[in-house]
Structure 1
Amino acid sequence: MGKVNLDNKNILVTGAAGFIGSNLIKRIYREVPLASIIGIDNMNDYYDVRLKEFRLKELSEYKTFTFVKGNIADKKLIEEIFEKYRPSVVVNLAAQAGVRYSITNPDAYIESNLIGFYNILEACRHSYDAGREGVAHFVYASSSSVYGSNKKVPYSTEDKVDNPVSLYAATKKSDELMAHAYAKLYNIPSTGLRFFTVYGPAGRPDMAYFGFTNKLKNNEKIRIFNYGNCKRDFTYIDDIVEGVIRVMKKAPDRKTGKDGLPVPPYRVYNIGKGTPENLLDFVQILSEELIRAQILPKDYDFEAHKELVPMQPGDVSITYADTSALEKDFEYKPGTDLRKGLREFAEWYADFYK
């Protein structure tokens, strides 16, 4: 693995107003204040745009942060950004997220996760034109969804993942395949990160913990799928960005194979806590923290607001990360306790929506 110095470098982060993107940018500036970051986001209304604006407002405090409002599916815009800023490191987090939404709005996934991803790869490829140094490391978000309904747990990056159960998962697996082809053809050092159920303050409202909170606060029933027999490997946002920044700074080595062609400088890692939590236990902890943060009254009747329902199409019953490769190569394992993470979320929620 080759070291990648981020000091005084231009770093491109796509999906900059997103949950992971905005937190990553803050984290980079804490550690590498001399970096210059270019963020791109289309600010779409898949969820409450006020959250994206809140995150962007926090980022506007950094003097060397440049924000571009635009879509990574716009090839001309991506070419212009690469030509103007010539990033040394590219972190592609822009994507249409969500399993269920991919069933009703497949176009959004093809546009962002396939065409947009391809545009970024092409721009990385041409960053080496005319003998330029170009992109030293391309890091991108994959997802635990690629494991589909794999029966073997915990999920390892060595597992075969050819049976996606949602279009979202299929697009994320496609990204890994395209990145591999470009790593082989054009020697682009690439690392894919399979994130496991990311949660925390100012997170995504389409995620269960946030949606449950909104519903409970509005005195509505929450629906718990698979009759509560679901397990999720919940990973706190700070743990995710710590993993991402460590990965950014170590790129797969470029090597030449016996055929005289590049051995693809390509890696994929899981970033998850490695301890799946039962959804009913999770809801119990969440409810306790919502009462503690005074979002809900002390005498709130949870049982009356819970509805156990069957599994939804595209969903899986368990996510569970094997993080041994991440531990070995980066000496890192996410460790934030679920209660601590949900407490941080509840306190933020109480403040944001007061």
Structure 2
Amino acid sequence: MTILITGSAGFIGSELSRRLLDAGHSVVGIDNLNDYYDVRLKEARLARIKDHPNFTEARIDLDDRTAVEDVFAKHRPQKVVNLAAQAGVRYSLENPHSYVDSNIVGFLNILEGCRAVQCRHLVFASSSSVYGTNAEMPFAVTDRVDHPISMYAATKRANELMAHTYSHLFAIPTSGLRFFTVYGPWGRPDMALFLFTKAILEGRPIDVFNHGDMKRSFTYIDDIVEGVLRVLDHIPTPAAAAAPEMPHESKSAPFRVYNIGSDKPESLMRYIEVLEDNLGLKAKKNMLGMQPGDVPATWADVDDLKTSVGYQPTTSVEDGVARFVAWYKDFYKI
């Protein structure tokens, strides 16, 4: 079938596109290749898929309503995976307007496109950031998510509400995925592992927030993509027709939200130790306080993912970091 992927030059989107192309699908990839981080890395990701005969590139902005309408009208995708977004918690404090343009206006254009072509299933990226000040651990999809603490988190929660509205009004099956800290080869340069690796190799100190007292559900890219693929094939139904062990499903719409992340959180200091072991170098640490918009811990409850699609992430931090370091040294010729 034809599957539309937004953010096809991104970390998750490029790998998902590659997997779908290998499986025989046609992929239409939307990405504007903005300069939030190094465009050369985005081009390199895209180079792995752009020459595939079943790949079509659309280099447009999601907030360009006419351009998005034209892509949907021309290709009429059966399924859509929306991964494009203005990412980053800290950057949302500096440039909040970009989050509304991409994550709110852009997502509305995607929803309208899905309505126009009667899309069979829309899977969209949410974030563990929606849990905000929630102190209950692990984070479960049944938890209240009414108190976001960054503009990024607020837009992701808004995406969930918008998607449910369209599912309810127009019977568009939608599934939201709350991603927990994704890392691995081809990753984002603004994420901790990339920043730490670059700094350590250059002999510079790394910034360690909350004085290292942090925990994260670090989740390897291959585990994320496998989860997305399984959810894409698992089209939701209203709760009335669903299994009784899923009481949190929407009762009025074919809508679901899943956590997708490791259910074995690791401390930040352990993450750094594993990186040091793989680099054969010790990090110089600049210990800092908590950053605005950040939280001290995340921990994913993935029981719903396991129940619905029979899957949970399994890659250990030791294996995942080792693969990242090998890729980093090869890509940057170190």
Q: Which TM-score bucket, shorter chain as reference?
A: over 0.9
**1:20-56 Cα deviation digits (max 9, x unpaired):** 00010111123x21x1100010000100111100011
Is 1:151 matched up with 2:130? Answer: no
Cα displacement (A) at 1:287: 1.1
Cα displacement (A) at 1:126: 1.8
Cα displacement (A) at 1:301: 4.2
**Over 6 Å off, 4+ runs:** none
CA distance in 1, matches of 2:300, 2:119: 29
Cross-structure match for 1:273 = 262
Q: Check conservation: 1:187, 1:254, Cα contact below 8 A.
A: no
Aligned residues: 324
- 1:215-294 aligned at under 5 Å gives the runs 215-253=199-237, 263-291=252-280
The one-letter amino acid paired with 1:114 is: I
Cα displacement (A) at 1:215: 1.2
The one-letter amino acid paired with 2:293 is: G
SS at match of 2:146: coil
CA distance in 1, matches of 2:131, 2:240: 31
Structure of larger gyration radius: 1
Cross-structure match for 2:43 = 53
1:323 to 299, 302, 308: 302
SS at match of 2:48: helix
Cα displacement (A) at 1:124: 1.1
Is 1:332 matched up with 2:322? Answer: no
SS at match of 1:263: coil
Cα displacement (A) at 1:263: 2.4
**Alpha carbons of structure 1 residues 327 and 227: separation in structure 2 relative to 1, 3 Å:** same
Cross-structure match for 1:36 = 26
2:186 to 189, 198, 202: 202
Q: Check conservation: 2:200, 2:282, Cα contact below 8 A.
A: no
CA distance in 2, matches of 1:29, 1:338: 28
| Structure 2: gaps spanning 5 or more residues | 242-250
Q: Check conservation: 2:276, 2:282, Cα contact below 8 A.
A: no
CA distance in 2, matches of 1:113, 1:94: 8
Q: Check conservation: 1:102, 1:168, Cα contact below 8 A.
A: yes
**Alpha carbons of structure 1 residues 254 and 322: separation in structure 2 relative to 1, 3 Å:** closer
**Alpha carbons of structure 1 residues 255 and 187: separation in structure 2 relative to 1, 3 Å:** farther
Is 1:107 matched up with 2:97? Answer: yes
Is 1:67 matched up with 2:57? Answer: yes
Give the TM-score of the pair, scaled to structure 2: 0.95
**Alpha carbons of structure 1 residues 207 and 255: separation in structure 2 relative to 1, 3 Å:** closer
| Structure 1: gaps spanning 5 or more residues | 1-8, 128-133, 292-299
CA distance in 2, matches of 1:194, 1:255: 20
Q: Check conservation: 2:163, 2:174, Cα contact below 8 A.
A: yes
Cα displacement (A) at 1:250: 1.1
Cα displacement (A) at 1:141: 0.2
SS at match of 2:189: coil
The one-letter amino acid paired with 2:287 is: L
Identity among equivalent pairs (%): 52
CA distance in 1, matches of 2:302, 2:296: 20
CA distance in 2, matches of 1:255, 1:63: 40
The one-letter amino acid paired with 2:194 is: F
CA distance in 2, matches of 1:74, 1:172: 19
Cross-structure match for 1:342 = 321
Cα displacement (A) at 1:114: 0.4
The one-letter amino acid paired with 1:352 is: F
The one-letter amino acid paired with 1:16 is: S
The one-letter amino acid paired with 2:114 is: C
**1:295-326 Cα deviation digits (max 9, x unpaired):** xxxxx443xx1121100000000010000000
SS at match of 1:109: helix
SS at match of 1:274: coil
The one-letter amino acid paired with 1:100 is: R
Q: Check conservation: 1:189, 1:254, Cα contact below 8 A.
A: no
The one-letter amino acid paired with 1:279 is: L
Cross-structure match for 1:3 = none
CA distance in 2, matches of 1:272, 1:284: 21
The one-letter amino acid paired with 1:10 is: T
Give the TM-score of the pair, scaled to structure 1: 0.90
Cross-structure match for 2:288 = 309
